[in-house]
Structure formats: structure tokens, C-alpha cells
Amino acid sequence: MRKMLNIERVLKQERLMLAMTGFNRNTFENLLVTFSNIYEQQILSVPRQRALGGGRKARLCNPQEKLFYILFYFKCYPTFYVAGILFDIDRAQAHYWMHRLQGILEYTLGKKMILPECKLNNIEQFIERFDGVERVMIDVIEHHVKPHKEQN
């Protein structure tokens, strides 16, 4: 089965590259060289569980697909369900690859990729995290909720 997302098509269109990864094709290709080297070093530094070629075949087959996946993840922040559908992997694998590739991308870029923090539980946490913010705009959508029927 084919992946829902055609990476080759995206790589050919500059606007799609920028929209999906935040980088143009030339920058992507330059990053790919460093990313590939770091990825290979990481693979060689860890003892193998299986012989080369053993186990299930990976869906993110090559460094290009892996780099595209992690850049796409940090640009678009899809849920792992959505990332799984787009890249034809299970949501658990989407989660695994995000965490595995994040460190390699950080090393490649030379900076930390900071993930969104958990939601705020009280005003004190907000003030601590956003010290100095004078105005806050809250955007909400109202949904009608049917009242719960009591059973006698």
C-alpha cells in the first residue's frame, strides 16, 4: 500500500516544501547530508538486536523520508493518529519516530526543538510561564451539550 503523502511530489514544489517542512528544497538537501551522517553514526553506535536485514521492513525507508517526517512533525504538529495515516505507520510508530528523530534533528540544526508544554491548570502557572504578558486573547467555540438524563 502507498503512503497517503507523496513526499517526492512535495520535494518538487517549493511552496509545498515551505508549507510542510519550513525549509526550501536546497536547505532540505543540505540538512539531509548532515542528518544522514548523524543518523548512520547513531545506528552504528548501538548494538543490533537482529542481523542486518532482519525484522520488519521500515515504512520510513531512508534518511530523506525520516528527515521529511521529523521536519513535517515540528512544522505542522499533527496528532500521532494523523501522522500515522499520512506516513502509513501506526500511531505508536509515529510517536516512536518523533522521539527517535528529534535528537538527531536537534544535533543537525544545532539547537533544541522545544515541544509545546502541557496545558496550564491555574492562573499562577500562567503568570509564571508568561511573565510580563499584559493582554491575553482567548478564542473559544461554543458547543451545545445535551443535559445528562437522570435514571430512576
Q: Is residue 50 part of a domain?
A: yes
Residue 17 has pLDDT above 80, yes or no: yes
Confidence class for position 21, pLDDT limits 50, 70, 90: very high
Contacts of 28 (CB under 8 A, 6+ apart): 11, 17, 21, 67, 68, 71
pLDDT value at residue 10? 93
Q: Is residue 34 part of a domain?
A: yes
The domain tally of the chain equals: 1
> By C-alpha distance, which of 69, 58, 60 is closest to 20?
69
Q: Is residue 102 part of a domain?
A: yes
53 lies in which domain range? 7-109
Q: 25-45 and 14-21 are packed helices; what angle lies between their axes, rounded to 10 degrees?
A: 50
Cα–Cα distance measured from residue 120 to residue 152, given in angstroms and rounded to the nearest whole number: 38
Q: Is residue 93 part of a domain?
A: yes
Cα–Cα distance measured from residue 15 to residue 29, given in angstroms and rounded to the nearest whole number: 16
Cα–Cα distance measured from residue 125 to residue 127, given in angstroms and rounded to the nearest whole number: 6
Residue 75 has pLDDT above 80, yes or no: yes
- Cβ–Cβ < 8 Å for 17, 49: no
Cβ neighbour number for residue 67 with a 10 Å cutoff = 25
Tell me the per-residue pLDDT of 80-123, one tens digit each, with 9 for 90 and over: 999 999 999 999 999 999 999 999 999 998 876 665 566 778 88
Q: Is residue 143 part of a domain?
A: no
Q: Is residue 115 part of a domain?
A: no
> For residue 37, how many C-alpha atoms fall within 13 Å in the half-sphere facing its CB?
7
Q: Is residue 51 part of a domain?
A: yes
Q: How many residues are given for the chain?
A: 152
Q: Is residue 47 part of a domain?
A: yes
3-class SS letters over 45-74: HCCCCCCCCCCCCCCCCCHHHHHHHHHHHH
Tell me the per-residue pLDDT of 25-45, one tens digit each, with 9 for 90 and over: 999 999 999 999 999 998 888
Confidence class for position 137, pLDDT limits 50, 70, 90: confident
> By C-alpha distance, which of 92, 103, 45, 30 is closest to 70?
103
